[in-house]
Amino acid sequence: MDGAAPVATYHHGDLPTALVVAAIELLEEDGAGDLSLRAVARRAGVSTAAPYRHFPDRTALLSAVAAVGYTELGAALVEASPDPADADDLAEVAVAYVRFALDRPGLFRVMFAEGCDRTSPDRVAAVETIRAYLAAIVANTMPEAEQEAMATSVWALVHGLAFLHLDGKLGTSPDDDVARTVTSAVLAALDHRGS
């Protein structure tokens, strides 16, 4: 898709944000494999040299994209259950996590499967927000558990379910089937009976 016309031509304002938006659009169309600063510049309607003023390399751009993804994922989780209090709420959060992966596969893969700068302040802050939300869920829903170990276990379970669905190992649709599979897996892992 390198030769595609820009969706919107950049004129003024926040070029780094415009470049990240262009990168996300390209990711959702083609995945991360062929994403380059050159293709992003074309999509944003700027010279091929312009991105280098803000992103010294592809890794820096992917880190900025990942930070946006973590922020959007965090918002989707909170929307699914603003104040989770029990295993059913935790299952709803898990379903939202998997749905995010299925709805935004290019972005999700950059967040978790591409080389990013692990020290990028925006990325670190966004990941920490999700970790804090997950820690709060564990504290509310499983106060008797060893908190850090349980938070890691829950994230690993849900993340594994996301990639299994994303890679077609558990199916990708319809939504009800995904929700049922994820909910059942989470409740079984937490030793709760689904309704």
Q: Is the pLDDT of residue 192 over 60?
A: no
CATH number at residue 17: 1.10.10.60
| Domain coverage including residue 136 | 69-189
> Residue 89 is encoded by which pair of tokens?
């709420």
Mean pLDDT of 54-63: 90
CB-CB contact of 187 with 194 (8 Å) = yes
Interval 30-55: pLDDT, tens: 776 778 899 999 999 999 998 989 99
Do residues 142 and 172 both lie within one domain?
A: yes
As for how many domains the chain has, the answer is: 2
Do residues 99 and 185 both lie within one domain?
A: yes
Residue 62 lies in a domain: no
Do residues 98 and 179 both lie within one domain?
A: yes
Do residues 89 and 118 both lie within one domain?
A: yes
Do residues 165 and 89 both lie within one domain?
A: yes
Q: Is the pLDDT of residue 90 over 80?
A: yes
Do residues 45 and 84 both lie within one domain?
A: no
The least confident of 34-38, 51-55, 129-133, 168-172 is 168-172
Give the side-chain half-sphere CA count within 13 A for 124. Answer: 5
CATH number at residue 83: 1.10.357.10
Do residues 33 and 119 both lie within one domain?
A: no
| pLDDT of res. 32 | 67
Where helices occur in 2-104 by DSSP H, the ranges are 15-30, 37-44, 58-80, 87-103
The size of the chain, in residues, is: 195
Helix (H) or strand (E) holding 180: helix 175-189
- Of the chain, the percentage scoring pLDDT greater than 90 comes to 48
| pLDDT of res. 183 | 94
pTM of the model: 0.85
| pLDDT of res. 2 | 45
Residue 83 lies in a domain: yes
Angle at alpha carbon of residue 87, lines to 164 and 69, rounded to 5°: 45
Mean pLDDT of 63-77: 92
Do residues 39 and 78 both lie within one domain?
A: no
